[in-house]
Amino acid sequence: MPPSSAPAAATPPEKAPGKAVVLFSGGQDSTVCLAWALDRFDSVETVGFDYGQRHRVELEVRPAVRDAIRDAFPRWAARLGEDHLLDLGVLGRISETALTSEAEIAMGANGLPTTFVPGRNLLFLTFAAAIAYRRGAKHIVTGVCETDYSGYPDCRDDTMKAMQVALNLGMEARFVVYTPLMWIDKAATWALTHRLGGDALVELVREHTHSCYQGDRAHRHDWGYGCGACPACELRRQGWERYAAAGMTMAAT
Give the footprint of Zn ion on this chain (CB under 5 A).
212, 214, 226-227, 230, 233
Q: How far is the CB of 231 from Zn ion (least distance, A)?
A: 8
Look at residue 221 and give its three-state secondary structure. Answer: strand
Residue number, 177 or 230, with CB nearest to Zn ion: 230
Rounded least distance, CB 54 to Zn ion, Å: 12
DSSP conformational letter for 223 = T
Pick 88 or 227: Cβ nearer Zn ion: 227
Q: How far is the CB of 37 from Zn ion (least distance, A)?
A: 26
Instruction: Please identify, using beta-carbon distances, which residue of 54 and 194 lies nearer to Zn ion.
Output: 54
Rounded to the nearest whole angstrom, what is the least distance from the CB of residue 135 to Zn ion in the complex?
34
Closer Cβ to Zn ion, 143 or 226, answer by number: 226
Residue 118 or 231 having the CB closest to Zn ion: 231
Contacts by 31-34, CB closer than 8 A, 24 or more apart: 31/65, 31/69, 31/204, 31/205, 31/208, 31/209, 32/143, 32/180, 32/181, 32/189, 32/192, 32/193, 32/196, 32/205, 33/141, 33/142, 33/143, 33/180, 33/181, 34/65, 34/69, 34/141
The CB-of-218 to Zn ion minimum distance in angstroms stands at 11
Sequence-separated (6 or more) residues with CB below 8 Å from residue 123 = 88, 91
